[in-house]
Amino acid sequence: MEAREASKTSPRVRSALDALERAHLRKTPQRLAIVRAFVDDTTHPTAQQIFDRLRRAMPTMSFATVYNTLDALERAGSCRVLRVHDDGSARFDPRVDAHDHAICETCGAVRDIEPAKRARLPDEGDLDGFEVRAVERVYRGLCANCR
Ligand SMILES: [Zn+2]
Ligand SMILES: [Zn+2]
């Protein structure tokens, strides 16, 4: 059973499941479905969007289960929350390394952008003693569909 489960589980799914385990959440079929639906999702979905996608196949799925699972993944460092929209909605990002985002002002789509190799920093004086450890940019504009 354990071996069969491992053979069809990608490394990303496995590391997310390990994160849930560290957060003391049992690996239920519902949580497994949430993790599988989320780890390779590059659209930065809201918890509601993941819930809507899953409840057709799993009618007993509750929104609280989706939200709590994503929240546990975030606390375990296995996903990040982006609040880049004017409505302050939380978007979940399975990618945790530093990267940039492009946000469409018309449809709200969020996509990953590979960061420029050498990000230009403000002058020392403008940083006012602040030590920069990571640079992440948000580009606002129109996506290819909305142009
Ligand atoms: Zn758009
Ligand atoms: Zn991202």
pLDDT band at 8 (very low <50, low <70, confident <90, very high): low
| pTM for this model (two decimals) | 0.83
Digit-coded pLDDT (tens) for 78-129: 999 999 888 888 999 999 988 999 999 999 999 999 988 776 788 888 999 9
Eight-state DSSP code of residue 133: -
Check whether 62 has a pLDDT greater than 50.
yes
pLDDT score of 124: 86
Report the C-alpha gap between 54 and 15 in whole angstroms.
Answer: 21
Check whether 64 has a pLDDT greater than 60.
yes
Nearest ligand for residue 114 CA: 2
Q: Which residues surround ligand 1, an ion (CB under 5 A)?
A: 104, 106-107, 109, 143, 146
Nearest ligand for residue 141 CA: 1
CA 55 to chain centroid: 19
pLDDT score of 120: 79
Report the C-alpha gap between 96 and 79 in whole angstroms.
Answer: 6
Check whether 74 has a pLDDT greater than 60.
yes
Digit-coded pLDDT (tens) for 16-48: 999 899 888 888 999 999 999 999 999 999 999
Which helix (H) or strand (E) segment holds residue 138: the answer is: strand 138-141
Higher pLDDT, 88 or 140: 140
**Cα of 12 to ligand 1 centre, how many Å?**
28
Nearest ligand for residue 42 CA: 2
**Cα of 48 to ligand 1 centre, how many Å?**
19
What domains are there in the chain, each with its CATH number?
2-82 (1.10.10.10), 100-141 (no CATH)
Q: Which residues surround ligand 2, an ion (CB under 5 A)?
A: 93, 95, 112
